[in-house]
């Protein structure tokens, strides 16, 4: 995946795939900066926060919050919408769109606080196809048309879906204004508590509009169709289709004026208005719910519940054909809780199964109900608890995902049957208790694998998707054993020693290197050497440039503990055992100790040290005739300690020097005997 960071950590651009030029532009500071960087087809992904900007979109892109990335959408869960806010700055509109005949999508925001002395305080679009999905548009104002949304000019498709348009205001069309030939669909929306001098909710002017599953409530206006005015005009004809729309609890600012809630007007003799009202509830007030006026047109109204029934429709034009069906109701819809804005139907509502029998059935496969919200008589399974995307490590064994009986519920109490689908290698399984688990294959890993689960009753099926990632983990190399030399092996210091061990294998097929390690008994830590081999031969220690402090002579029988470490990438495993061998100096033959041929000071053990160290030296037969004196000096030449050892026999000797009370540093060890002087360094650590 390609990642490019722009200046000021403003945004990150991610390519969607190697085969696609479309990108995701990740925005954290400036949305307009992301829009300006976008090309046609790109997605500008905005992280949660409040952005005080006025945006201009001229390119066919998708502008979205994290809501668009959710795998399982619950329409009632608007947390990403509520937490990703675009707020107008300096009394401007919030978003302006002009991408002629190209498609712009905006999804998952709260848009608030826009103002314009013209039209479109929240969003304004011109000559553009667009999808406005899952938005909350609130607190926006326009002096002329469309406080929340204003759309003008020819466009093939304007989709307004799952939006809440509330508390906006304008001269006309407080919530929405559609003008001059846009083809618009408004579905699954709530248009609430907007206000205008005319048309509190919506003004449609020479537009083709379909409204489906829309609640219009709490809107206020002074005149011209309190809630909606739907017109044709000299600029063009109009077609309006209202289906499953609930218009309720709206009011006129001037309560003394008798006016209608929905005003359908054919405003020109040269154009035509076509309107259909079906499966709707228009309720409240003694004034007409629908008024027809103007020139050429036809309006078909049936299978709806209207205040005052047929009398709630007033046709004031001889030129408009009113086709009023025989299936209108004039009955209280029996909403659940209208005082608190809940306009779902109760189980005794006369609007249940009273819609057009030829229209699409409700989601429960029963006859269509009237109004924006159907009453479920056989509810489908529901997702009760969400499973977040998660990850496990490679070779994790069995991991329980969830008890599906807690993830899904059936409102009717029906028994649910489950099925699942995923990626080969995940090892998904469902036990008799409906517990879903995964057991990934050995050495299997993959990123962001889509897993699907469905729950079905006798009629319905609910789907749920989420992602699982199996993270690659480097496996430990396989265990192995030492072969030779065996415990107790004796060797001369200059003899060849062949170290051997069995091979270790890596489950991930990575190369295995070996580290042979040795520790000398008297505290000497032998440097480690790494070899890409399973055997190794040391010859004639020490070589001239060898850093291993191998004994040359003087002390009988050094114990050397050795082991091997197998290394694969960042992981390693130690041999199953360690072994100890004996290395004797050159002057030991057949177990007999020969006298040293010269006076010599050997290395200190340990060195460096932090309290005491052992000083070893050898006396030849010649040097044994003289007394031995040991002196310790600081680097400044000051004598800090001395010991007169007297005359010693020829052979190996040692003395422990206790440096207690001396500061840390480098000291010179000086040994004198018979006019010979040997010197070495000692490093004291504190």
What mean pLDDT is reported for the chain? 82
Residue 537 pLDDT greater than 60, yes or no: no
Q: Give me the mean pLDDT over the 340-356 stretch.
A: 96
Residue 522 pLDDT > 60: no
* pLDDT tens, residue by residue, 367-390: 999 999 999 888 778 888 888 888
- Residue 523's SS3 state is coil
- What does the pLDDT average to over 563-578? 81
- 595-684 folds as Immunoglobulin-like (2.60.40)
Q: How many CB atoms lie within 10 A of CB 470?
A: 23
Please tell me the predicted confidence (pLDDT) of residue 508: 72
Over residues 53-69, the pLDDT tens digits come to: 999 999 999 999 988 87
Chain segment 624-664, per-residue pLDDT in tens: 778 899 999 988 888 999 988 888 887 777 788 888 889 98
Average pLDDT of span 266-290:
83
Among the ranges given (174-188, 337-351, 547-561), the one the predictor scored with the smallest mean pLDDT: 547-561
Residue 308 CB-density burial (10 A; 0-12 exposed, 13-18 middle, 19+ buried): middle
Is the predicted pLDDT of residue 252 greater than 50, yes or no? yes
Cis peptide before 71 (omega within 30 of 0): no
Average pLDDT over residues 230-237: 72
Q: Residue 455 pLDDT > 70, yes or no?
A: yes
CB contact at 8 A, 632 and 667: yes
pLDDT, residue 66, reads 87
**pLDDT score of 589:** 41
Q: What is the DSSP string of 140-175?
A: -EEEEE-SSEEEES-EEEEEEES-EEES-EEEE-SS
| Strand-by-strand arrangement of the 461-471 sheet | 390-393, 461-471, 446-456, 417-421
pLDDT(305) > 90: yes
| DSSP three-state, residue 256 | coil
Q: Please report which confidence band the pLDDT of residue 148 belongs to, taking 50, 70 and 90 as the band edges.
A: very high
Is the pLDDT higher at 16 or at 72? 72
pLDDT-based confidence at residue 306 (cuts at 50, 70, 90): very high
> What band does 593 get if pLDDT is binned at 50, 70 and 90?
very low
Q: Is the pLDDT of residue 534 over 60?
A: no
Q: Strand runs (DSSP E) across 58-119, as ranges? A: 62-65, 84-87, 95-97, 103-107, 110-112, 115-116
Burial of 454 (0-12, 13-18, 19+ CB in 10 A): middle
Give the pLDDT confidence of 41-97 residue by residue, as tens digits. Answer: 999 999 999 999 999 999 999 999 988 876 555 566 788 999 999 999 888 999 999
Cis ω for the linkage preceding 606 (within 30 of 0): yes
Residues 429-433, mean pLDDT to the nearest whole number = 92
For residue 592, the model assigns a pLDDT of 46
Q: Tens digits of per-residue pLDDT, 604-618?
A: 777 788 888 888 787
**Average confidence (pLDDT) over 464-479:** 84
Which residues are CB-neighbours of 88 under 8 A, at least 6 positions away?
52, 54, 94, 112, 113, 114, 115, 121, 140
pLDDT-wise least confident of 143-152, 304-313, 519-528, 665-674: 519-528
Mean pLDDT value across residues 207-231: 85
Residue 478: which pLDDT band, with cuts at 50, 70 and 90? Answer: confident
Lowest mean pLDDT among 17-26, 437-446, 495-504, 650-659: 17-26
Class for the domain spanning 482-592? mainly beta
pLDDT more than 90, % of the chain: 37
pLDDT value of residue 46: 93
Q: Is pLDDT of 596 > 70? A: no
Check residue 388 and give its pLDDT. Answer: 85
The domain limits of the chain are: 85-331, 382-469, 482-592, 595-684
So what's the pLDDT on residue 177? 95
Give pLDDT, residue 576. 81
3-state secondary structure (DSSP) of residue 599: coil
Average pLDDT over residues 414-430: 88
Same topology between domain 482-592 and domain 595-684:
yes
Q: pLDDT value at position 533?
A: 60
**What span, in angstroms and rounded, lies between the C-alpha atoms of 617 and 594?**
15
Burial of 500 (C-beta count, 10 Å sphere; 0-12/13-18/19+):
middle
Most confident of 352-366, 459-473, 515-529: 352-366
Token pair of 157 as six digits: 């498709």
Mean pLDDT confidence for 397-409: 92
The predicted pLDDT at position 82 comes to 94
Assess whether pLDDT exceeds 50 at residue 1.
Answer: no
Q: Which residue has the tokens 């209208």?
A: 338
The second-level CATH assignment, the architecture, of 382-469 is: Sandwich (2.60)
**What is the average per-residue pLDDT within 417-429?**
87
Q: Reply yes or no on whether the pLDDT at 568 is more than 90.
A: no
* Nearest alpha carbon to residue 560 among 464, 642, 658, 490: 490
Does residue 501 carry a pLDDT above 60? Answer: yes
Q: How confident is the model at residue 477 (pLDDT cuts 50, 70, 90)?
A: confident
Q: Determine contact, residues 177/203, Cβ cutoff 8 Å.
A: yes
Please check the confidence at residue 532 and state whether its pLDDT lies above 80. no
Q: Which two tokens stand for residue 254?
A: 């001037």
Residue 244, pLDDT score = 97
**pLDDT beyond 90 at 115:** yes
- Per cent of the chain over pLDDT 70 is 83
User: Comparing 337 with 255, which gets the higher pLDDT?
Assistant: 337
């Amino acid at each position: 995946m390609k990642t490019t960071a722009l200046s000021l950590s403003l945004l990150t651009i991610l390519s969607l795939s190697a085969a696609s030029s479309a990108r995701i532009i990740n925005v954290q500071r400036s949305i307009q900066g992301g829009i300006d960087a976008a090309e046609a087809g790109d997605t500008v992904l905005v992280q949660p926060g409040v952005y005080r900007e006025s945006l201009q979109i001229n390119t066919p892109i998708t502008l979205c919050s994290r809501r668009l990335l959710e795998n399982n959408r619950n329409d009632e869960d608007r947390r990403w919408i509520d937490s990703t806010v675009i707020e107008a700055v300096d009394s401007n509109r919030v978003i302006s769109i002009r991408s002629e005949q190209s498609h712009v999508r905006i999804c998952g925001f709260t848009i608030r606080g826009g103002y314009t002395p013209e039209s479109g305080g929240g969003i304004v679009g011109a000559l553009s196809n667009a999808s406005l999905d899952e938005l909350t548009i609130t607190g926006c104002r326009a002096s002329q048309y469309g406080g929340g949304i204003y759309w003008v000019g020819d466009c093939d498709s304007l989709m307004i879906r799952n939006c809440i348009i509330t508390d906006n205001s304008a001269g006309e069309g407080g919530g929405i204004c559609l003008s001059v030939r846009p083809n618009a669909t408004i579905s699954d929306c709530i248009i609430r508590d907007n206000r205008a001098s005319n048309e509190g909710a919506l003004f449609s002017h020479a537009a083709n509009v379909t409204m489906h599953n829309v609640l219009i409530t709490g809107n206020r206006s002074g005149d011209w169709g309190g809630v909606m005015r739907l017109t044709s005009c000299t600029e063009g004809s109009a077609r309006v289709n209202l289906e499953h729309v609930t218009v309720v609890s709206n009011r006129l600012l001037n309560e003394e004026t008798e006016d209608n809630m929905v005003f359908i007007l054919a405003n020109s003799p040269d154009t035509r208005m076509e309107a259909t009202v079906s499966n709707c509830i228009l309720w409240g007030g003694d004034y007409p719910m629908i008024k027809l006026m103007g020139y050429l047109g036809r309006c078909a109204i049936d299978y709806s519940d209207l205040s005052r029934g047929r009398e709630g429709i007033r046709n004031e034009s001889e030129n408009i054909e009113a086709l009023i069906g025989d299936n209108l109701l004039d009955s209280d819809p029996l909403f659940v809780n209208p005082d608190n804005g809940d306009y779902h139907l109760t189980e005794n509502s006369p609007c249940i199964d009273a819609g057009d029998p030829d229209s699409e059935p409700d989601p429960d496969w029963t006859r269509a109900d009237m109004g924006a919200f159907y009453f479920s008589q056989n509810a489908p399974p529901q997702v009760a608890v969400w499973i977040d995307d998660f990850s496990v490590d490679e070779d994790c064994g069995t991991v329980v995902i969830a008890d599906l009986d807690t993830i899904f519920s059936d409102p009717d109490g029906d028994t649910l049957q489950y099925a699942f689908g995923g990626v080969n290698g995940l090892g998904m399984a469902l036990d008799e208790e409906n517990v879903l688990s995964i057991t990934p294959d050995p050495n299997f890993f993959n990123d962001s694998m889509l897993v699907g689960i469905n729950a079905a009753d006798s009629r319905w099926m609910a789907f749920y998707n989420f992602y699982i990632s199996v993270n690659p983990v480097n496996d430990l190399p396989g265990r192995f054993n030492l072969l030779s030399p065996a415990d107790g092996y004796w060797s001369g210091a200059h003899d060849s020693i062949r170290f051997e061990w069995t091979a270790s294998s890596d489950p991930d097929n990575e190369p295995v290197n070996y580290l042979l390690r040795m520790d000398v008994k008297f505290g000497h830590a032998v440097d480690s050497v790494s070899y890409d081999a399973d055997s190794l031969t040391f010859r004639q220690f020490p070589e001239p440039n060898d850093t291993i402090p191998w004994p040359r002579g003087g002390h009988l029988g050094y114990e050397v503990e050795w082991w091997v470490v197998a290394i694969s990438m960042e992981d390693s495993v130690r041999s199953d055992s360690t072994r100890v061998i004996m290395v004797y100096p050159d002057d030991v033959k057949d177990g007999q100790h020969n006298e040293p041929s010269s006076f010599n000071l050997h290395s200190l053990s340990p060195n460096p040290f932090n309290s005491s160290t052992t000083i070893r030296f050898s006396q030849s037969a010649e040097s044994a005739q003289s007394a031995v004196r040991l002196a310790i000096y600081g680097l400044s030449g000051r004598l800090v300690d001395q010991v007169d050892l007297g005359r010693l026999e020829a052979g190996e000797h040692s003395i422990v020097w206790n440096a207690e009370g001396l500061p840390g540093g480098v000291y010179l060890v000086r040994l004198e005997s018979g006019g010979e002087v040997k010197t070495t360094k000692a490093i004291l650590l504190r």
